Amino acid sequence: MERIRKQILQNLFKPRSVYELLYLQDSSLPEVFELLKTMEKEGLIRISGGKVELTDKGRERAEGLGAKYFGDIYCQNCEGTGIDITKEFFEILKKYKEIASKRPEAIEEYDQGFISMNGVIRRVEFIYDRGDLAGSKIFVVGDDDLLSIAASLTGLPSKIFVVDIDERLIDFINKVADEEGLTVEAMKYDVQQAFPEFLRKKFDVFVTDPVETIPGLKLFLSRGVSTLKGEGCSGYFGITTLEASRRKWYEIQKLILEMGFTITDIKRHFNVYPEEEKNFFRFQDKLPIVKKLGAKIDFNWYNSSLFRIESITDPKPLVEGEMRIDEKVYKDDESWATPY
């Protein structure tokens, strides 16, 4: 954890919200929480009212380690993603915002949450940049973000098929597709059920944001992988470091290799979940990390890295049939940002 300690020290040459500090470091929530408590006991930092600052001793320690503050290095125009919203995609964004403002609100039962609207468009741009948008058949497992709508508004994909357990979301997507003449179709489907045969090996790309437990990841990724035609197909999904430690990332990479894929891209801080009235931060009082910190959220801290994987053999889903879900699939010891 020495690297994370240095990350914290160099970012505290000016006082920060504790939630901003969570955003700026990249260990899991249990790990960084224990580290902050340790640093507080050592007299290096002061935590009060949701704010964190260096003590004189902490400043001396930081300087002794050679740590310096070189400013906020993330690009302000692209929000640190490396992808700007072009004028062409800005027109898509305007229409998408109009549609998404009417979406059903996230509900706790399905562990729902959506990324920022700008973030959705940047994800579509990234898929476009990698050659996976134009003329592609795209499969989406769970679409809280309404990425299917944003992607279809470009007129580039030949077909987008969405499955989700939330009937409200399915009805909304199909209604919008009908009204706007989009090539999107949505169907209610619970990932616990055996995968429908008519969807197997029919798509070029899958997109999902899986539950961040190993059983959950195996299940969600398998459903996406089941739809791919063969070698050269790709998948996109988000994984945090907040609820997935390095050891979990190691297990995730083994799953990816076992399914016949290589990782081509990982974009850090790519997906940010904003504090909006319809989003999951409405449940913040039920989030373990909020309870432990004892401070209200005041920064859009919850973020994930965007993975792109590509099949180098015939894709091999690790879950084929029915898989019944219990709490262990949705929550584990690292699920500190999941409502309890």
Task: Give per-residue pLDDT as tens, 174-199.
Answer: 999 999 999 999 999 999 999 999 99
- Find all residues with CB under 8 Å of 323, minimum gap 6, and list them: 191, 192, 219
Nearest by Cα to 35 from 11, 74, 13, 9:
9
11-51 residue pLDDT tens = 999 999 999 999 999 999 999 999 999 999 999 999 999 99
- Indicate whether 161 belongs to any domain: yes
The total number of structural domains in the chain stands at 2
Residue 337 lies in a domain: no
The DSSP bridge pattern shows strands 51-54 and 45-48 to be antiparallel
For residues 11 and 137, state if they share a domain. no
CB 208 within 8 Å of CB 141: yes
- Please write the tens of the pLDDT for every residue from 101-154: 998 876 655 555 678 999 999 999 999 999 999 999 999 999 999 999 999 999
Give the global pTM: 0.94
Domain contains 272: yes
d(CA 221, CA 210): 7
Query: Do 97 and 178 belong together in one domain?
Result: yes
Whether residues 245 and 210 fall in one domain: yes
Structural domain boundaries enclosing 41: 2-64
Nearest to 276 by CA among 111, 101, 148: 101
Percent of the chain with pLDDT over 90: 79
User: Residue 70: inside a domain, yes or no?
Assistant: no
DSSP, res 31: H
> For the segment 202-214, what is each residue's pLDDT rounded down to a tens digit?
999 999 999 899 9
Last residue of a domain, one of 16, 33, 64: 64
pLDDT at 44 (0 to 100): 97
